[in-house]
Amino acid sequence: MIRVGINGYGTIGKRVADAVSAQPDMSVVGVAKTRPNFEAEQARRRGYDLYPAIEDRLDQFADAGLETAGLVEDLVATADVVVDATPSGIGEQNKALYEEYDTPALFQGGESEDIVDVSFNARSNFDEAADADFVRVVSCNTTGLSRLVAPLEEEFGIEKVRATLVRRGGDPAQSGRGPINDILPNPVSLPSHHGPDVNTIFPDLDIDTLGLKVPATLMHMHSINVTLDSTPTADDVRETLAGESRLLLIDADLDIDGTGALKEYALDMGRPRGDLWENGIWSESITVEGSDLYLFQAIHQESDVVPENVDAIRAVLETSTAEESMATTDEALGLD
């Protein structure tokens, strides 16, 4: 069994912990928390050992009635690999700790590509993470774009990608984020950072991205135009995309008109926390004009990187091929 430590048990960390627990070949050795908040309480209820990240706060955990198993250093020393899901920029500060214990670490999309050996997307470059010390599982938006680009590139060839990213203002629990009544070009200058970030996975891809922020919390929405090297029909594209386990084609019969209904669908499917691990692509939106492909896809920012983190663990430790790992992850999560 691969022993996985989770440092940072928030939106991403708690989901990765549950996904790791569900796998047949790995277990969670513990989670590191800075504060004994509701997530710490839930971590204990789920049976995860708690490792405070700040020694001075040990008393706060005791006062809250939460048993601890050691400090974050003990967790890093015990784990075969650490998933660092701390807020953007904190991962970089934690790097020295992982180096000290010679424990490989996976960072998240908020960290700079400069602090890692490789940026990772399971479908696109699994093998490049083999034996790496530091890997960055790219952001929710870059993951969503990479999952789409990989099969299109293989099947039809890509001349250029143009993507407009309509991004949620914050996650549902982020009460301080916005806008609350506005539509922001964000960033106002082009390109947004997402295109260059996709280039960390596909260095030769010609891609321009534009970003906006809107008063929504449920998901991001991408408006996509890909100029292909060939002229497939829309049905050819649908068939190719339907063959990808992490792309969900939303059939018109489902009558899902937006991210609200899509989130409800995920809840009705019994997905934990209403998570949609796949890109949600509106099948009707897939349109081809000559060599230009158009579509809309929804990206559930809180969860699409979760299966990718699980795969990155196997990739770094070289315990599996890409296909085997993705199949194992998907089956354990119930993603089919």
CB of 138 to ligand NAD, least distance (A): 8
**Residue 221 lies near ligand NAD (rule: CB under 6 A):** no
Q: By C-beta, is 8 or 104 nearer to ligand NAD? A: 8
Nearest by Cα to 76 from 19, 1, 7:
7
Collapsing DSSP to helix, strand or coil, 296 comes out as: strand
Concatenated DSSP letters of 73-111: HHHHHH-SEEEE-PSTTHHHHHHHHHHHHT--EEE-TTS
Q: What letter represents residue 201's amino acid? A: I
Going by C-beta distance under 8 Å and a sequence separation of 6 or more, which residues neighbour residue 182? 215
Percent composition of the chain: helix, strand, coil (DSSP 3-state, to 5)? 40, 25, 35
User: What is the footprint of ligand NAD within residues 53-72 (CB under 6 A)?
Assistant: 53
User: What is the footprint of ligand NAD within residues 117-156 (CB under 6 A)?
Assistant: 139-140
Q: By C-beta, is 70 or 110 nearer to ligand NAD? A: 110
CB of 303 to ligand NAD, least distance (A): 8
CB of 244 to ligand NAD, least distance (A): 20
User: What is the footprint of ligand NAD within residues 248-287 (CB under 6 A)?
Assistant: none
**Residue 92 lies near ligand NAD (rule: CB under 6 A):** no
Nearest by Cα to 278 from 196, 199, 219, 216:
219
301 is in an annotated binding site: yes
Annotation marks residue 36 as catalytic: no
Q: By C-beta, is 78 or 86 nearer to ligand NAD? A: 86
Q: By C-beta, is 73 or 128 nearer to ligand NAD? A: 73
Concatenated DSSP letters of 132-179: -SEEEE--HHHHHHHHHHHHHHHHH-EEEEEEEEEEESS-TT-TT---
**Residue 169 lies near ligand NAD (rule: CB under 6 A):** no
Of 276, 305, 312, 316, the one binding ligand NAD by CB under 6 A: 305
User: What is the footprint of ligand NAD within residues 185-214 (CB under 6 A)?
Assistant: none
Query: Residues 72, 105, 140, 288: which is the catalytic one?
Result: 140
Binding segment for ligand NAD among 21-29, 108-116, 183-191, 244-252 (CB under 6 A)?
108-116
Rounded to an integer, what distance in angstroms lies between the CA atom of residue 133 and that of residue 105?
Answer: 6
Q: 286 and 237 in contact (C-beta within 8 Å)?
A: yes
Rounded to an integer, what distance in angstroms lies between the CA atom of residue 111 and that of residue 94?
Answer: 11
**Residue 307 lies near ligand NAD (rule: CB under 6 A):** no
Instruction: At 33, give phi and psi (nearest 5°).
Output: -130, 145
CB of 166 to ligand NAD, least distance (A): 14
Residues near ligand NAD, by CB under 6 A: 7-13, 32, 34-35, 39, 53, 85-88, 90, 108-111, 139-140, 171, 301-302, 305
Q: Which residues are catalytic?
A: 140
